[in-house]
Amino acid sequence: MERYWGKDPRAVNIDEFVGTWIPLLVAPNGETTWMLALFGFVMFRIIDIMKPLGCKVLDEKCPRGWGVMLDDVLAGFYALILTEVSHTLRSS
């Protein structure tokens, strides 16, 4: 896709899809699921936009589409950690 549409084309959004679902891996099934899912999504979007702690480096340094994909995966894992910490603090 990069060859035809350039780096990170809007028509291709599998990176956003994967990054969004990663924090949802820790959302439990129950009455608070929607709150944790929303929290995880919002955290992913904030991290994806700001690109802290290596996300920007991955985006810029990895060749071809790998950087585009891996920066969202890393942002998703950061959001997963924040979602799990939030869930743990709410549960205790």
The domain ranges of the chain are 2-91
Tokens standing for 66? 């790998």
Gap between the Cα atoms of 33 and 90, Å rounded:
12
Give the three-state DSSP class for 12: coil
The secondary structure of 40-60 as a DSSP string is HHHHHHHHHHH-TTTHHHHHH
| Bigger pLDDT: 68 vs 23 | 23
pLDDT tens-place string over residues 37-84: 899 999 999 999 998 888 889 888 888 778 888 999 999 999 999 999
| Bigger pLDDT: 50 vs 9 | 50
Whole-model pTM: value is 0.84
Q: Residue 13: its pLDDT value, please?
A: 81
Chain-centre distance for alpha carbon 79: 6
Tokens standing for 20? 């969004």
